[in-house]
């Protein structure tokens, strides 16, 4: 786990990322608190906090006696939320750095369009 | 939630040395608490009071709502593992295990057996012939297999190699998940346990410096690096924990504002933000405590 960031938030981010990339499909079972604790070597209470946060957000839901499952529509929900954060987390720092280097908006656009062509 | 341990305004003096100076805190049931602090900070004194091996000069010490000193009902629920545990001279490892079985009501022999194998401990070796690491491992087996409602580990791993320490953390977490109980772990190896512990107690010079949730602590401080002028502008008016300087460049650790736009603001100020590890936070907090005491002298 990274230092400095709350562990439960790293847990929620990781599970959300697996839902977005499809490796954790909707209506399948999510890792249990104890599985997360053992795998990441973290306190079970911390893992539970992450799971509860996802349940409160409607990303996971509980099936009694079986465990937590990924809600239908979770993928779209997470994607929408991450899109909202995209400008703030990625575009803004990009613009700041570009300004420092004297790059124009046109040049940046050109780079984005052609970055895959670069060696 | 219930408190298993409750200390209120506890002071303990040895001659003219004040080992604990008005310490108050509570430990919640079924949590893993890290008791952190430098050598001589008062950690072991605290552990001795909690396990009824010593009496506080003043203040209240309660374990499971009762005083631990000479209280068999309370002490039977406590397992205390310390680095300098003494055993009778002729005791072999198996004698220690047999004694533990009669001593601890929740003792799990199967668990003890599997731990003995994990740590590769020889049953028939005399305790005083064990290597330092093996000696520590016996303590860890006792601490885990006793499954006491309150388990205290005081620097339990002197001489243990990295593999054995990882084994200890893994077995502790797995067994704690299955059999929740209250664990207090005193350690210098903060980086190693920072993900395990739920609550942090930091003691220095006999006083409690921090008594907080580990998760809260993680986001409490942030390190700001960049040109000194920019760093100063960004951190103006904030509680400064630590500062390093090199030419026109500064690295300053301050209390975090908890503001989610902080990172964006940092970019526009031309400074970088780095997270602060629990270990760094403990070092900065302890160092600042020492220097503020010296300057007030």
Q: pLDDT truncated to tens, each residue of chain B (297 aa)?
A: 589 999 999 999 999 999 999 999 999 999 999 999 998 889 999 999 999 888 888 999 999 999 998 898 999 999 999 988 889 989 999 999 999 999 999 999 999 999 999 999 999 999 999 999 999 999 999 999 999 999 999 999 888 999 999 999 999 999 999 999 999 999 988 989 998 999 999 999 999 999 999 988 888 889 999 989 999 999 998 989 999 988 788 999 998 877 767 777 887 788 888 888 889 899 988 888 777 766 655
Nearest-by-Cβ selection for A7 from B170, B178, B195: B195
Say which of A2, A40, A45 has its CB closest to residue B31. A45
Cα(B192)–Cα(B153) distance, rounded to whole angstroms?
15
Instruction: State residue B291's pLDDT score.
Output: 75
Handedness of CA B91, B94, B99, B104 (dihedral sign): positive
Interface touch B215/A1, C-beta < 8 Å: no
A-B contacts at Cβ under 8 angstroms = 70
Q: Which residue of B has its CA nearest to A38?
A: B174
Residues A3, B197: C-beta atoms closer than 8 Å: no
Nearest to B219 among A1, A6, A41 (CB): A6
pLDDT digits (tens, 9 = 90+) for A20-32: 998 899 999 999 9
How many C-beta atoms lie closer than 10 Å to residue A111's C-beta?
13
Contact A5 B275 (CB under 8 A): yes
Write the residue in B31, B261, B275 that is nearest to A3 by C-beta. B275
- Please tell me the total number of residues recorded for chain A in this structure: 119
Identify which has the larger pLDDT, A99 or B107: B107
Fold of A7-74: Arc Repressor Mutant, subunit A (1.10.10)
Collapsed DSSP state (helix, strand, coil) of residue B61 = strand
Collapse the DSSP code of B65 into the 3-class scheme (helix H, G, I; strand E, B; otherwise coil) and give the result. coil
Residues B145 and B103: beta-carbon distance below 8 Å: no
B197 Cβ under 8 Å from any chain A Cβ: yes
A71 at interface of B, judged by CB pairs closer than 8 A: no
Express each pLDDT in A31-84 by its tens digit.
999 999 988 889 999 999 999 999 999 999 999 989 999 999 999 999 999 998
CA–CA separation, B234 vs B228, rounded Å? 10
CA gap A27, B240 in Å, rounded: 48
Structure tokens at B192: 């190693």
User: Where does chain A show beta strands of DSSP type E?
Assistant: 60-63, 67-70
User: Contact A92/B194, CB-based, under 8 Å?
Assistant: no
Interchain pair A37, B198: CB under 8 A: no
Q: Return the number of other C-beta atoms located less than 10 Å from residue B191's C-beta.
A: 12
How far apart, in whole angstroms, are the C-alpha atoms of residue B20 and residue B206? 4
* pLDDT of the residue at A52: 95
Bridge partners of residue B230, in order along the sequence: none
* pLDDT value, residue A116: 78
Instruction: Check residue A25 and give its pLDDT.
Output: 94
Q: How far is B18 from chain A (nearest CA, A)?
A: 34
Query: Regarding beta strands B272-275 and A67-70, do their DSSP bridges make them parallel or antiparallel, or are they unpaired?
Result: unpaired
* A53, burial (CB in 10 Å: exposed 0-12, middle 13-18, buried 19+): middle
User: CA nearest B222 in A: which residue?
Assistant: A4
Question: Chain B contact for A92, CB < 8 A?
Answer: yes
- Asked if A41 has any chain B CB less than 8 Å from its own CB, the reply is yes
User: What's the pLDDT at B220?
Assistant: 85
Of all residues in chain B, the one with the smallest CA distance to A43 is B196
Q: Does B162 touch chain A (CB under 8 A)?
A: no
**Is residue B154 within 8 Å of B80, Cβ to Cβ?**
yes
pLDDT category at A119 given cuts 50, 70, 90 is: low
Look-up of token digits 């207090």: B184
Interface test with A, best of B165, B173, B196, B255 (most A CBs within 10 A): B173
Section A1-9 average pLDDT: 76
- Within 10 angstroms of residue A73's Cβ, the number of other Cβ atoms is 11
Please tell me the distance from the alpha carbon of residue B37 to that of residue B84, in angstroms, as a whole number: 18
Contact A38 B222 (CB under 8 A): no
Question: A8 to chain B nearest CA, in Å?
Answer: 8
Q: Length of chain B in residues, anyone?
A: 297
B132 CB neighbour count, 10 Å cutoff: 12
Domains defined along chain B, listed by start: 3-214 (3.40.50.300), 219-295 (3.30.70)
Interface test with A, best of B31, B212, B218 (most A CBs within 10 A): B218
Q: What tokens appear for B282 in the block?
A: 């403990």
Distance CA B228, CA A118 (A): 37
Residues of B in contact with A100 (CB under 8 A): 270
Q: What is the CA radius of gyration of chain A?
A: 19
pLDDT attached to residue A2: 67
What's the start-to-end Cα distance of chain B, in Å? Answer: 41
Tokens read off for B116: 């003995």
Q: How far is A106 from chain B (nearest CA, A)?
A: 21
Dihedral pair phi/psi, residue B139, rounded to 5°? -60, -40
User: How far from A93 is each of A85, B259, B272, B290, CA to CA, in Å?
Assistant: 12, 17, 11, 39
Question: Does residue A73 sit at the B interface (CB-CB below 8 Å)?
Answer: no
**Which parts of chain B are beta strand (E)?**
3-14, 17-28, 32-36, 58-63, 78-82, 150-154, 182-187, 199-204, 207-213, 221-227, 240-246, 249-255, 272-275
Tokens describing residue A2:
């990274």
**Looking at chain A, which residues constitute the CATH 1.10.10.10 domain(s)?**
7-74
């Amino acid at each position: 786990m990274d230092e400095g960031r709350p562990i439960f938030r790293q847990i929620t981010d990781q599970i959300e990322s697996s839902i977005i990339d499809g490796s954790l499909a909707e209506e399948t079972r999510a890792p249990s608190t104890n599985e997360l604790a053992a795998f990441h070597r973290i306190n079970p209470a911390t893992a539970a906090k992450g799971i509860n946060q996802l349940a409160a957000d409607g990303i996971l839901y509980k099936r009694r006696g079986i465990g937590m499952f990924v809600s239908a529509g979770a993928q779209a929900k997470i994607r929408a939320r991450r899109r909202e954060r995209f400008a703030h987390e990625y575009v803004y720092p990009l613009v700041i750095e570009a300004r420092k280097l004297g790059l124009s908006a046109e040049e940046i656009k050109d780079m984005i369009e052609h970055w895959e062509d670069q060696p | 939630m219930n408190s298993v341990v409750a200390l209120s305004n506890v002071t303990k003096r040895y001659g003219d040395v004040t080992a604990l100076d008005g310490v108050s805190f509570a430990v919640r049931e079924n949590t893993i608490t890290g008791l952190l602090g430098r050598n001589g900070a008062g950690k072991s004194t605290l552990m001795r009071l909690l396990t009824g091996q010593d009496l506080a000069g003043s203040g209240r010490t309660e374990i499971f709502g009762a005083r631990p000193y000479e209280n068999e009902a309370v002490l039977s629920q406590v397992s205390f593992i310390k680095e300098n545990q003494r055993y009778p001279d002729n005791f072999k490892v198996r004698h220690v295990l047999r004694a533990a079985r009669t001593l601890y009501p929740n003792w799990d022999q199967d668990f003890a057996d599997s731990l003995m194998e994990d740590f590769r401990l020889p049953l028939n070796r005399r305790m005083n012939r064990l290597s330092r690491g093996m000696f520590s491992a016996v303590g860890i087996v006792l601490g885990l297999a006793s499954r006491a409602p309150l388990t205290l580990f005081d620097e339990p791993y002197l001489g243990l190699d990295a593999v054995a320490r990882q084994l200890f953390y893994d077995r502790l977490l797995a067994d704690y998940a299955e059999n929740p109980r209250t664990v207090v772990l005193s350690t210098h190896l903060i980086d190693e346990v920072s993900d395990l512990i739920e609550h942090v107690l930091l003691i220095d010079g006999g006083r409690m410096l921090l008594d907080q949730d580990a998760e809260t602590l993680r986001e409490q401080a942030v390190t700001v690096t960049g040109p000194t002028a920019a760093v100063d502008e960004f951190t103006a008016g904030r509680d400064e924990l630590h500062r390093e300087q090199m030419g026109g460049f500064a690295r300053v650790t301050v209390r975090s504002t908890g503001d989610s736009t902080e990172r964006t603001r940092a970019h526009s100020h031309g400074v970088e933000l780095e997270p602060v590890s629990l270990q760094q936070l403990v070092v900065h907090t302890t160092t600042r405590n020492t220097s503020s005491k010296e300057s007030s002298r």
